[in-house]
């Protein structure tokens, strides 16, 4: 069956081809009554606008790039953070009649391809997720002139507008809770220290302890369960008398729970533990995990809104509060 043309719609509606073009491209200059007649003709004929031709006219693609700077294995691991952000961004863009283009540059060649794709104006904007300080891609994308927004505080010299949670305040709340429970030797398992979440949660932990005269004790993880177990083992070697741990992610906290059990330490009797995120699994650990809840979906929604509403590089960042969820691990 022959595909209906713009000319056929114009003939059915009794208007010019140019008028039909303005209607299907969303122009606000068309009389509402004429717009109604044209849209009725579009529906009756089953006309489908040529997206490639429309993008030439409007200079818009209807697509937004979501750039995740992590290895594929990490993005598609058992960490629910990535799936929740991708799902939320996709839903928000779909509601705005936009398409998400997921890009995962896990090598220098991949970064070059993403930069070339964005510079070619194949997307109308970019959302950056999971940035590392040494990553040159944010600065390269900002130079293309395409609107860029960051999910999370940027740590590189490139500073696009961003949304985040109060990572420092959340870490402080976790340590305050452990101190209130009478814990005296509180260690931490950090996230990667080339990421804002890792740096800020460590900063909040140190900031709170420094005011109490207690020394800090840290082991570095990478937000995975395996790194949490390894870091917990290291902390027990460094200070066998520690009685509390703040882990900068729930997955690392579950790894720490495993290592503590393996070492014969009871939770919370011998060692109390607090995580960060409040993933679903936190309710089902043994014992259920006390954690700092961060509103992951809300941050993703706000990031999309900033991009769709027009990026203002002078605007203040949007920071969401966290909430301590107390369960049996403390």
How many domains, in total, are found in the chain? 3
Q: In terms of domains, do 123 and 191 share one? A: no
Q: In terms of domains, do 237 and 271 share one? A: yes
Percent of the chain at pLDDT above 90?
Answer: 67
> What is the reported pLDDT for 54?
52
pLDDT higher than 80, residue 106:
yes
- 120 versus 223: the higher-pLDDT residue is 223
Question: Is 124 within a domain?
Answer: yes
Question: Is 325 within a domain?
Answer: no
Question: Is 1 within a domain?
Answer: no
Distant-in-sequence, close-in-space partners of 162: CB < 8 Å, separation ≥ 6: 149, 150, 151, 152, 153, 154, 303, 317, 318
Question: Is 147 within a domain?
Answer: yes
> What is the reported pLDDT for 151?
96
Q: In terms of domains, do 69 and 155 share one? A: yes
Phi first, then psi: give them for residue 225, nearest 5 degrees. Answer: -60, -40
> What is the reported pLDDT for 244?
98
Q: In terms of domains, do 71 and 216 share one? A: no
For 122-152, the pLDDT digits (tens) are 999 999 999 998 889 999 999 999 999 999 9
**CATH no. for residue 40?**
1.10.260.40
Average pLDDT, the chain: 91
**Contact assessment for residue 175 and residue 216, using Cβ atoms and an 8 Å cutoff:** no
Question: Given pLDDT bands bounded at 50, 70 and 90, which one contains residue 299?
Answer: very high
> What is the reported pLDDT for 30?
84
Q: In terms of domains, do 19 and 98 share one? A: no
Contacts 24+ apart (CB under 8 A), 207-210: 207/168, 207/172, 208/171, 208/172, 208/175, 208/176, 208/179, 209/175
Question: Is 199 within a domain?
Answer: yes
Instruction: Determine the 3-state secondary structure of 295 from DSSP.
Output: coil
Q: In terms of domains, do 135 and 49 share one? A: no
For 246-273, the pLDDT digits (tens) are 999 999 999 999 999 999 999 999 999 9
Residue with tokens 């509390």: 244
Question: Is 177 within a domain?
Answer: yes
Distant-in-sequence, close-in-space partners of 54: CB < 8 Å, separation ≥ 6: 24, 25
Most confident of 61-65, 155-159, 290-294: 290-294
> Where in the sequence is the domain holding 306, given as residue range(s)?
63-165+297-319
Q: In terms of domains, do 286 and 304 share one? A: no
pLDDT higher than 50, residue 58:
no
**CATH no. for residue 305?**
3.40.50.2300
Question: Is 105 within a domain?
Answer: yes
Q: In terms of domains, do 114 and 261 share one? A: no
Question: Is 326 within a domain?
Answer: no
Most confident of 3-12, 148-157, 316-325: 316-325
CA atoms within 13 A on the CB side of 185: 10
Question: Given pLDDT bands bounded at 50, 70 and 90, which one contains residue 56?
Answer: very low
> What is the reported pLDDT for 294?
97
pLDDT higher than 50, residue 74:
yes
> What is the reported pLDDT for 202?
98
**Contact assessment for residue 132 and residue 150, using Cβ atoms and an 8 Å cutoff:** no
Q: In terms of domains, do 286 and 203 share one? A: yes
Q: In terms of domains, do 301 and 290 share one? A: no
Q: In terms of domains, do 248 and 214 share one? A: yes
> What is the reported pLDDT for 49?
65
> What is the reported pLDDT for 249?
98
Q: In terms of domains, do 125 and 37 share one? A: no
Least confident of 57-61, 121-125, 152-156, 258-262: 57-61
> What is the reported pLDDT for 35?
85
Closest CA to 125 of 326, 328, 309, 329: 309
For 15-43, the pLDDT digits (tens) are 988 888 787 766 667 888 888 898 888 88
Question: Given pLDDT bands bounded at 50, 70 and 90, which one contains residue 164?
Answer: very high
Parallel/antiparallel/unpaired status of strands 218-220 and 244-247: unpaired
The whole-angstrom separation of Cα 21 and Cα 24 is 5
């Amino acid at each position: 069956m022959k595909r209906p043309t713009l000319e056929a719609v114009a003939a059915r509606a009794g208007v010019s081809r140019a008028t039909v073009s303005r209607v299907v491209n969303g122009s606000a200059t068309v009389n509402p009554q004429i717009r109604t007649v044209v849209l009725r003709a579009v529906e009756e004929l089953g006309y489908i606008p040529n997206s490639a031709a429309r993008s030439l006219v409007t200079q818009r693609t209807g697509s937004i790039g979501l750039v995740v700077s992590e290895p594929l294995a990490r993005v598609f691991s058992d960490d629910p953070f990535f799936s929740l952000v991708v799902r939320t961004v996709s839903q928000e863009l779909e509601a705005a009649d936009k398409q998400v283009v997921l890009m995962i540059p896990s090598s220098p060649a991949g970064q070059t391809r993403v930069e070339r794709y964005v510079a070619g104006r194949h997307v109308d904007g970019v959302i950056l997720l999971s940035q590392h300080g040494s990553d040159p891609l944010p600065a390269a994308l900002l130079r293309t002139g395409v609107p860029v927004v960051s999910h999370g505080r940027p740590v590189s010299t490139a500073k696009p507008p961003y949304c985040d949670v109060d990572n420092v305040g959340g870490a402080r709340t976790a340590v305050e809770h452990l101190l209130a429970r009478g814990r005296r030797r509180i260690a931490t398992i950090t996230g990667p220290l080339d990421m804002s979440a890792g740096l800020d949660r460590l900063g909040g932990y140190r900031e709170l302890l420094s005011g109490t005269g207690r020394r800090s004790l840290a082991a570095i993880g990478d937000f995975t369960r395996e790194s949490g177990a390894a870091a917990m083992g290291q902390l027990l070697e460094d200070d066998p008398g520690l009685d509390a741990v703040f882990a900068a992610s729930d997955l690392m906290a579950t790894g720490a729970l495993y290592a503590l059990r393996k070492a014969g330490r009871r939770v919370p009797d011998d060692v109390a533990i607090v995580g960060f995120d409040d993933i679903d699994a936190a309710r089902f650990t043994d014992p259920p995990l006390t954690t700092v809840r961060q509103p992951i979906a809300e941050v993703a929604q706000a990031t999309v809104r900033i991009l769709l509403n027009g990026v203002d590089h002078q605007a203040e960042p949007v920071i969401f509060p966290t909430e301590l969820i107390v369960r049996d691990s403390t």
